[in-house]
Structures are given as C-alpha cells and as structure tokens.
Chain A
Amino acid sequence: MAEKEVLIEVKDLKKYFKVGKNAVLKAVDGVNFKIYKGETLGLVGESGCGKTTCGKTVMGLYDATDGQVIFDGTDIHSLNKQEKKEFTKRAQIIFQDPYSSLDPRMTVADIIGEGIDIHGLYKGEERMAKIHELLELVGLNKEHALRFPHEFSGGQRQRIGIARALAIEPEFIVCDEPISALDVSIQAQVVNLLIELQQKKNLTYLFIAHDLSMVKHISDRVGVMYLGNMVEFADSDELYSNPLHPYTKALMSAIPIPDPDEEKLKRRIPIEGEIPSPINPKPGCRFAGRCKFATEQCFASTPALTEVKAEHFVACHRVHELENC
C-alpha cells in the first residue's frame, strides 16, 4: 500500500462504567489508533482487557466517556439520529456468540433483511433476491432463507451473522471474536470467508480476538491491550517476531504451538498472578504489579504509547533497556 487513507481515527478513547458508589470500572482508558482503508486491524488481549468494549465504542454501541472516534472526518459520538443511521449503513458488527446474537423468532431472511428494510435499500422481489445472493455469498443456500436460527450449526449461524452484516454493503466491519465459539475446522472456513469477502468488497476490519495465531494470520497490524490500555502496536509480522513490551513477550511465549519439537525448544516467560481488577485502577503502568522489570517509575507514572521503531509503538518506560533481554 503506497498511499494509505485513514478510515477511522480513534483519539484518546475512554469508556468508564460506574459500578457502584465511588467505583469506576475503566474498561478502556485512553486508547489511540488509526485504521486504514482496506486493512485488517487486530486487537488482542486477555479477557477483561477491554478489547470488546473498545470495539463496541468504536461502533457507537456504547457512548464514549471521553475521546473521539473519527470516521471519515466526523466524530461518530457527536452525530444526531439521522446521521447515526447514515453511519450504521457504513459500519457493521459481527458478534462473538452465534447462538445469542440471532433472534430465535425471526427467519433467516428477516434477520438478514432487517438492515435492508431499515435503510430502505431494496423492496419486494429485489429484497428477496439480495437475501438469496447474500446467503450464497457466505456459503449457504437459498433454501435456508425461510428457516429459523435453531436449525443451523454454530458455523452456519456465524455465516448468517456475517450475511446480516454485509446486507447493507458496509465499508467497515467490527468482528468481535467471530470464531471463538467455533470448532477448529469451522474456524478456518469462517476466516477464509472473511478474507475472501475483504478482497472482493474492499472491506476494512477491526478484528477482535484472543486467539493470537488467528489474529496474526488475518491482520495487517495488531494492537495488544492490557487492562484498558494499549501496550503495544505494530505491524503484525513485526509484533510477533519482535515483541518489545514485557507483557507482549509473556503473552507470545504462552501461545501453545501445535508442533512438539518447537514446544520443546520454547522458553515460556512466566507471568505471575492474574489480571488485576479494572475497578479504580492504581496510577502507573497497569502491568507493573506483574512485571519483573518494574521500577519505581513504573508504579508512579503511566507510560505513553511511543514510537520506538518505524510503525512500532510501545508503552513501557524501560523499553530501550529491555530491548536486548
């Protein structure tokens, strides 16, 4: 890509939830990134790190506490009702659980056609033809249109979810763990379908997952989140071959490799304990409590995401000292 056009710019995005008196859950706490047109941006991290909240806030499904999501020049959190409708025509989301994200009382045709109806894109026979076309596009067939979600397997349901997202021909799709609930062989089917559709329709994806190998496979660039913060952000090959943040290093070393010889050679960087609670987090680097390189500085101030190498951003005070560890 010679000239990259920015489709979405996320600026200092924050999403807090009030969870009680004087308790604030900082799910996303100041995240910055850009998504270029036609690329796939991967977002990884462990459960509770805020990646899904981030995706939903980018989609406007949650109101941002602070910060901006600039989609094609305008902040989506300042839109009025009419403009918001326009925005939803251009951006869609695929959810994690193919069982709970489809209305069990609607036929597949109505599920896929709902967006078409809302935006008044097609009517009557044209609408049905479009639905049939979408079903075939995602690898189902016409006969499936009049069935209900419970008649389908997990992989097929996820395809229905994808067809629904594609129905109004969006430019941008947030894929929130689209494959986590599926079996290995079905995962490959869905990922191949997503890649194929991206090439056909020049789609832009924000791909959220905790399966690090799959994210690497599908993404151009990847961001690693930890407790509401972006800790590292780089080109996917660069990130996986040369992780710099201590958390990313530990995370990468924990990925089980389906190859016994490689597993024997692998050195796992142990990481003690578990993710602390995001409710009223302490100041300083969020990872400091579990990081064996943490110094006083790490507990005192939060490191900013800075460019260490070309297009490789890391949020760590000691990144330069640790580079050769």
Chain B
Amino acid sequence: MSEKLLEVKDLHVSFKTYAGTSHAVRGVDFHLNQGETLAIVGESGCGKTVTSKAIMGLLPEDNTIIDKKSGSAILFHGENLLDYDEKQMTQIRGHRISMIFQDPMTSLNPTMKIGDQIMESILLHQKVTKAEAYRQAKEMLELVKIPNAEQRMKQYPFEFSGGMRQRAMIAVALACKPEILIADEPTTALDVTIQAQIMELIGSLQKELNMAVILVTHDLGVVASVADRIQVMYAGKIVERGTVDEIFYHSTHPYTRALLNSVPKIHSNNKDKLYSLKGTPPDLINPPTGCPFAARCEYGMKVCRQLPPEVISFSSSQECSCWLHHAKADTSVLPEGMIRSSEKRSVK
C-alpha cells in the first residue's frame, strides 16, 4: 500500500453572497497516494474547483468560510494545511503543491516575460542565483517541449498560442518539482489534438518527476485514459468513488451512470436519443436535506428526499452514497449490474 500523501477530511467550504450563504463544498473526504492520478469529475458548480483551491489555500479570504470543526482537515504529510498562515502556505504553494488552471491566458501574467514567470517561483522557493534560476527555467521550457526555449524565455504570453501557453503554465507549475500537481480542467480550452499532446505531456512528466496528480475535469473521455481513481462530485458532495474500471464498468450511483450515458459513443452507429438528465443541479444556498441528486434521479424514492444517504463500500476502493443500495430499497427497477453483490456490501 502506497503512502497517503494528502488527506482531505470532512471539508466544508461556503461563500457569502448577496443572496445568502452558498454551501459549495459540503463534507468532502478523500486521500491521494504517492504517484497516482486521482480524477475529480463533475459538472459546473459541483465544488470540484473549490475543493482544489481550498487545498492550495487560494480561496478569497473575505467571503469564504472554511468550516474548522473538529475533524475537518487537509493533511499534507500529516500536517493540517488549514492551520497554516499565509507565510507557511507560500512555502507549500508552487513549491510542494502546484496548480495549473483552465485558462492559460488569464492565469499567466500578461506583462511579464514567460522566462521571468518561471524564474519567479524558482527564486522564491530555492536558494539559487539568478543565472542558475535562468538555466533551470530554460530546462523546464525544454522539458515541456517548447522549441527555441532560449528565445521563448524572452517572449510574452500573447506571443504564445493556446497550447503553448498551457505548456508554459505547466513549466511554471513544475519549476520546483512539486510532489502534487493539481490540474484544474487543463485542456478544456484546447482543441482535441492539442489536448492529447498536453495530456501526454502531463503523464510523462508525472512519471519523470514521480508526482501525484489531481485531475479536475468534466470530460470523462480524458479521465478514462489517465486516471487511476475517480471520484464523482455532485452539489458539493462526493457521490461515488472507485478505480477507473469500477466507475466506468461497475458504477453504482445513478448520477455516475447518467454522466456516462449522456456522452455519445463515437464507435456506435446508434442514432437514438441521447440519455438526458432532466432539470438542473440544486441551488446550494438552500441545499436539499436529503440526497442532492434526488430531484433529478429517475429512481428517486421518498427516503431520498428526506435523509442524506449513507456511504456504502463495495470494495476497498469503491464507495457510493445512494439509498438504492439499502437493504430495504426496491432494486427491481434498476438496470442490470448497478447493484453489486451483497456479500461485499457493508454499511460504514
């Protein structure tokens, strides 16, 4: 068993808004092992980005409430990052945990040369001379396969194309060889051929530097090829988690199933209607008391709307919170394979 590098325990994040307090993340637990890729999948507003920003300590201070009740923690090598002050976080951020964002144009500084942006993090975290930092930065640009690194160091972000900018941002993030890379929708703004290049790049750098990667995305296609484990989020909660095979072939939560079914299969010639979920995700200012997915779930029962479902584990890696797996639920309406064998079933 590999070592737990990062452990998030019962994380609650809410935001103060004019309309009221929005509960974006409502009790999220997970861990990340050394060298693995964990994918967090979900639609907009499900809390996946907020979770990753909470780990990085990047949430705006003035309107964010991170609930520090007993048991809530973000443990990195056993130390709680929630207790760190800004100065301590600076030591972690960009050095031991790095993040790349969806839109490389807005996350790179438009008034700074690419080379300086990479050197900035090296100079901040390592005791090296400017010349040494320059050498390392150039090496990083070569590592992310940007041709003419020497020249590119002197250019500004606007002189780079979308794919190149994303590479440059990866170079900035990896400059200090972090232990964890959080990639928040790294390829959403890119074309498929460039997306494939970037995902391959992240994969090879991960091996080379032995990093753990948290991949935040809504694209199940990207996840299938790179992730080791997947967790599906909905309305601020993790509804199901498991290994790639468990999620793709033995998913037990109706929302996971719906997500998988609503993508058209490229190799099938089936022109039928796509499976489509009705309605929209719930409002997180007044989150539902029961299962957040109940209102859109085609198997929704009375209990789903009243009580939050318990977490049920099916194997050492697969867990799901859904009332359908309760002993009293009527499972005859469910599609085949959704209920896993009851021997493995144990209520936590």
Q: A residues bordering B, Cβ < 8 Å?
A: 46-47, 153, 155-156, 183-189, 191-192, 195-196, 210, 212-214, 216-217, 237, 240, 250-251, 254-260, 262-264, 266, 268, 270-271, 274
Contacting pair A260 B248 (CB below 8 A)? yes
20 residue pairs of the A-B complex, CB under 8 angstroms, read A46-B192, A184-B220, A185-B277, A188-B262, A212-B192, A212-B266, A251-B193, A254-B193, A256-B195, A256-B224, A257-B221, A257-B224, A257-B225, A258-B223, A258-B260, A259-B248, A260-B225, A264-B225, A266-B225, A274-B161
Instruction: Provide the residues of chain B in CB contact with A240, threshold 8 Å.
Output: 266-267
For B220, give the chain A residue with the smallest CB separation: A258
Instruction: Provide the residues of chain B in CB contact with A183, threshold 8 Å.
Output: 43-44, 218
**Shortest distance from the beta carbon of B285 to any chain A beta carbon, whole Å:** 15
Contacting pair B219 A256 (CB below 8 A)? yes
Interface string of B216-259 (1 = CB under 8 A from A): 00111111110000000000000000001100100000000011
Instruction: Provide the residues of chain A in CB contact with B225, threshold 8 Å.
Output: 256-257, 260, 263-264, 266
CA distance A188 to B258 in the complex (A): 10
CA distance A16 to B277 in the complex (A): 42
**Shortest distance from the beta carbon of A185 to any chain B beta carbon, whole Å:** 4
Say if the beta carbon of B301 comes within 8 Å of chain A: no
**Given contacts A185-B43, A217-B271, A260-B245, A254 and B195 within 8 Å (CB-CB):** yes
Instruction: Provide the residues of chain A in CB contact with B164, threshold 8 Å.
Output: 274
Interface string of B191-213 (1 = CB under 8 A from A): 11111110110000000000000
Contacting pair A213 B266 (CB below 8 A)? yes
Instruction: Provide the residues of chain A in CB contact with B244, threshold 8 Å.
Output: 260
CA distance A80 to B280 in the complex (A): 45
For B265, give the chain A residue with the smallest CB separation: A213
Contacting pair A192 B276 (CB below 8 A)? yes
CA distance A259 to B221 in the complex (A): 7
CA distance A195 to B33 in the complex (A): 45
CA distance A270 to B196 in the complex (A): 9
CA distance A186 to B191 in the complex (A): 21
Say if the beta carbon of B110 comes within 8 Å of chain A: no
Interface string of B41-64 (1 = CB under 8 A from A): 001100000000000000000000
For A195, give the chain B residue with the smallest CB separation: B273
Q: B residues bordering A, Cβ < 8 Å?
A: 43-44, 161-164, 191-197, 199-200, 218-225, 244-245, 248, 258-260, 262-267, 269, 271, 273-278, 280
**Given contacts A155-B280, A254-B192, A184 and B163 within 8 Å (CB-CB):** no
Instruction: Provide the residues of chain A in CB contact with B280, threshold 8 Å.
Output: 153, 155-156, 186
CA distance A166 to B295 in the complex (A): 30
CA distance A271 to B267 in the complex (A): 22
Contacting pair B264 A216 (CB below 8 A)? yes
CA distance A258 to B264 in the complex (A): 9
CA distance A155 to B276 in the complex (A): 13
Instruction: Provide the residues of chain B in CB contact with A257, threshold 8 Å.
Output: 221, 224-225, 266-267
**Given contacts A258-B224, A271-B193, A214 and B264 within 8 Å (CB-CB):** yes
Within 8 Å by CB of A255, from B192, B199, B274, lies B192
**Shortest distance from the beta carbon of B220 to any chain A beta carbon, whole Å:** 4
Contacting pair B277 A189 (CB below 8 A)? yes
The listed residue with most B CB atoms (<10 A of its CB), out of A216, A255, A260, is A260
**Shortest distance from the beta carbon of B186 to any chain A beta carbon, whole Å:** 13
CA distance A278 to B263 in the complex (A): 33
Instruction: Provide the residues of chain B in CB contact with A213, threshold 8 Å.
Output: 221, 263-266
Instruction: Provide the residues of chain B in CB contact with A260, threshold 8 Å.
Output: 224-225, 244-245, 248
**Shortest distance from the beta carbon of B250 to any chain A beta carbon, whole Å:** 12
The listed residue with most B CB atoms (<10 A of its CB), out of A153, A156, A189, A195, is A189
CA distance A186 to B164 in the complex (A): 31
Contacting pair A217 B264 (CB below 8 A)? yes
Instruction: Provide the residues of chain A in CB contact with B263, threshold 8 Å.
Output: 184, 188, 213, 258
Within 8 Å by CB of A192, from B193, B200, B259, B274, lies B274
**Given contacts A258-B263, A260-B244, A46 and B193 within 8 Å (CB-CB):** yes
**Shortest distance from the beta carbon of A263 to any chain B beta carbon, whole Å:** 4
CA distance A216 to B259 in the complex (A): 19
Instruction: Provide the residues of chain B in CB contact with A47, threshold 8 Å.
Output: 162, 191
CA distance A262 to B245 in the complex (A): 12
For A252, give the chain B residue with the smallest CB separation: B266
CA distance A187 to B267 in the complex (A): 19
Contacting pair B264 A254 (CB below 8 A)? no
Contacting pair A184 B193 (CB below 8 A)? no
CA distance A24 to B273 in the complex (A): 43
**Shortest distance from the beta carbon of B169 to any chain A beta carbon, whole Å:** 16
CA distance A268 to B264 in the complex (A): 20
Instruction: Provide the residues of chain A in CB contact with B221, threshold 8 Å.
Output: 213, 255-258
Instruction: Provide the residues of chain B in CB contact with A254, threshold 8 Å.
Output: 192-193, 195-196
**Shortest distance from the beta carbon of B258 to any chain A beta carbon, whole Å:** 6
Contacting pair A188 B265 (CB below 8 A)? no
**Given contacts A189-B277, A240-B266, A257-B224, A184 and B43 within 8 Å (CB-CB):** yes
Instruction: Provide the residues of chain B in CB contact with A195, threshold 8 Å.
Output: 273
CA distance A188 to B196 in the complex (A): 24
**Shortest distance from the beta carbon of A179 to any chain B beta carbon, whole Å:** 11
Contacting pair A217 B191 (CB below 8 A)? no
Within 8 Å by CB of A184, from B162, B192, B195, B262, lies B262
Contacting pair B276 A185 (CB below 8 A)? yes
CA distance A250 to B192 in the complex (A): 10
**Given contacts A256-B221, A258-B260, A260-B224, A188 and B193 within 8 Å (CB-CB):** no
**Shortest distance from the beta carbon of A221 to any chain B beta carbon, whole Å:** 13
CA distance A254 to B191 in the complex (A): 10
Instruction: Provide the residues of chain B in CB contact with A268, threshold 8 Å.
Output: 196, 200
**Shortest distance from the beta carbon of B324 to any chain A beta carbon, whole Å:** 19
CA distance A183 to B185 in the complex (A): 13
**Shortest distance from the beta carbon of A196 to any chain B beta carbon, whole Å:** 8
Instruction: Provide the residues of chain B in CB contact with A187, threshold 8 Å.
Output: 262
